[in-house]
Amino acid sequence: MSDVVIKAEGLGKKYLIGHQSERERYTALRDVLTRNVKGLWNKTRQVLSGQQLLAGDEIEEFWALRDIDFEIKRGDRVGIIGRNGAGKSTLLKVLSRITEPSTGRIEIKGRVASLLEVGTGFHPELTGRENIYLNGAILGMARAEIKKKFDEIVDFAGVDRFLDTPVKRYSSGMYVRLAFAVAAHLEPEILIVDEVLAVGDFEFQKKCLGKMEDVSKNEGRTVLFVSHNMGIVKALCTHGILLKNGKAIYEGSMGDTIKHYIANQTKSDVKGLIIPAMRKYNTGEVFIRQVRLVKENGDQTEDLYYREGIRLIFDVEVVSQINNMLFDVKIISEADIVVAHHMNTFSEKAHQTLNKGRWIIEVLLDNALAPGSYSVTGGVHHPNGVTIEYVEDVYPFNVLRAAEDDEKNYNYEWVHGYHHPVGTWKFSMNESVA
């Protein structure tokens, strides 16, 4: 009997996108009438041909997935990685049978439970209790089976006080807690989880990851996991699939897949984050226009290896001269904790005067961060503490475990916390004690 539980052959998913043609500066009545008639004809044609109904004068084909082949075996923990827009979520929706593939075929053996978006699979008008039974019924479980697992689900989710409240009144965190508990405990053979776990708090994320590892190792279930956190993916998953522009460009061990992902990045893949309107405070005197994280060779990146230096470059527009400017950088964890903070006042030149114009401000920080996902927050302030400019979470990045050959003297399982400072230890005998 074959151990393959998911098999994809030539899998593709196409969407049709409607575009509005460019409007003229002056539009005559006859142009409006002509355009409306043309739009009506397009919609009628789409309906008659069984196509999706689209808005716009022009229609473009967009392939979210194309020519994907893979096999996943029972008990595998598979991490699916790639940049935003690579097709990861679309692939999970196809595997979950939420959407049908446009080309190719997929074979799935066993019950599938998915956690893709907040609220997926729940009826908002039903209570938490009713949704547990509803999801179990969808999975084909008898009421007695669901009842047997009920207390375990409620205990794991920690929402017992709100069990008889309609889930439409739940916060997004409560939604995710209950949804994951249901998906993991109702004994599906295949568990599919998207980045949605990031909505939950840090402790609950750790709890979920431990549960996914447990159901795979001890119960032989298959887990498919999508995340941008390379540290978590590498710790949980044994096998990896790398997607790029809708195609699977690499498949192998999780460690090798991550290395291939990093090596495949080019400057064109990661554009410096241009900040249009993400400001918390701004007086109009200074604007941080762009943030970039670069490696030692100058290449821009969103992934650093453990202990690899953090080099941040800020493109700053000064509207009016700032005397004795204070510039600070914070590194924020996934749990929204400030794990590192540095100001230009910490350096030899305590304050800096910036004349009107465009400035490049660069800061190099030692990287003592534990493997995981972080983001950059930056601010400009007057010496009296008044904030001039402040942008939050404007550049996400990952700290990855060191290369395998550098790990032999470092046991990550024994190290805790976000910050791993370099320390010097000294041991000596206390001669004063007899």
Provide CATH code, domain 273-414. 2.70.50.60
pLDDT at residue 395 tops 60: yes
Q: How far is the C-alpha of 364 from the C-alpha of 240, rounded, in Å?
A: 32
Give me the pLDDT at residue 82, please: 85
Q: 3-state SS of the chain?
A: CCCEEEEEEEEEEEEEEEECCCCCCCCCHHHHHHHHHHHHHHHHHHHHCCCCCCCCCEEEEEEEEEEEEEEEECCCEEEEECCCCCCHHHHHHHHCCCCCCCEEEEEECCCEEEECCCCCCCCCCCEHHHHHHHHHHHCCCCHHHHHHHHHHHHHHHCCHHHCCCEHHHCCHHHHHHHHHHHHHHCCCCEEEECHHHHHCCHHHHHHHHHHHHHHHHCCCCEEEEECCCHHHHHHHCCEEEEEECCEEEEEEEHHHHHHHHHHCCCCCCCCCEECCCCEEEECCCEEEEEEEEECCCCCECCEEECCCCEEEEEEEEECCCEEEEEEEEEEEECCCCEEEEEEHHHCCCCCEEECCEEEEEEEEECCCECCEEEEEEEEEECCCCCEEEEEEEEEEEEEECCCHHHCCCCCHHHCCCCECCCCCCCCCCCCCCC
Q: What pLDDT does residue 185 have? A: 81
**Rounded mean pLDDT of 314-323?**
88
The Cα 285–Cα 199 span in angstroms is 35
pLDDT by residue (tens digit) across 32-91?
Answer: 555 555 555 555 555 555 555 555 556 678 888 999 999 999 999 999 988 777 888 899
Q: What's the rounded mean pLDDT across residues 273-297?
A: 75
Confidence band for 7, pLDDT divided at 50, 70 and 90: very high
Predicted confidence at residue 270, as pLDDT, reads 44
Model confidence at 31, in pLDDT bands (50, 70, 90)? low
Domain ranges of the chain: 10-62, 71-263, 273-414
Between residues 254 and 115, which one has the greater pLDDT?
Answer: 254
% of the chain beyond a pLDDT of 70: 76
Strands 239-244 and 190-193: unpaired
- Report d(CA 262, CA 57) in Å as an integer: 40
pLDDT on residue 224: 92
Residue 176: phi and psi, rounded to 5, are -65, -40
The more confident residue out of 409 and 217 is 217
Helix axes 202-217, 172-185, angle to 10 degrees: 10
Architecture label for domain 71-263: 3-Layer(aba) Sandwich (3.40)
pLDDT of 177 reads 82
Lowest-pLDDT range of 36-40, 176-180, 225-229: 36-40
Greatest Cα pair distance, the chain, in angstroms, is 105
The helix-helix angle for 143-157 and 128-138 (nearest 10°) equals: 130
User: What's residue 277's pLDDT?
Assistant: 46
- Which residues neighbour 128 within 8 Å (Cβ) at sequence distance 6 or greater? 159, 162, 163, 164, 165, 167, 170, 178
Q: d(Cα 99, Cα 94) in Å, to the nearest integer?
A: 5
- Report pLDDT digits (tens) over 110-153: 888 887 766 666 888 999 899 888 888 877 778 888 888 899 88
Q: How far apart are CA 147 and CA 145, in angstroms?
A: 5
pLDDT in the model for residue 266: 45
Q: Do the beta carbons of residue 399 and residue 304 sit within 8 Å?
A: yes
CA separation, residue 50 to residues 14, 44, 63, 98, 301 (Å): 15, 10, 19, 19, 44
Q: What is the pLDDT of residue 69?
A: 94
pTM exceeds 0.75, yes or no: no
- What is the structure's pLDDT at 119? 61
**Rounded Cα distance, 379 and 393, in Å:** 11
Query: Lowest-confidence range among 3-12, 96-105, 138-147, 244-253?
Result: 138-147
Q: What is the mean pLDDT of the chain?
A: 79
- Report d(CA 68, CA 10) in Å as an integer: 5
Confidence of residue 269 (pLDDT cuts 50, 70, 90): very low
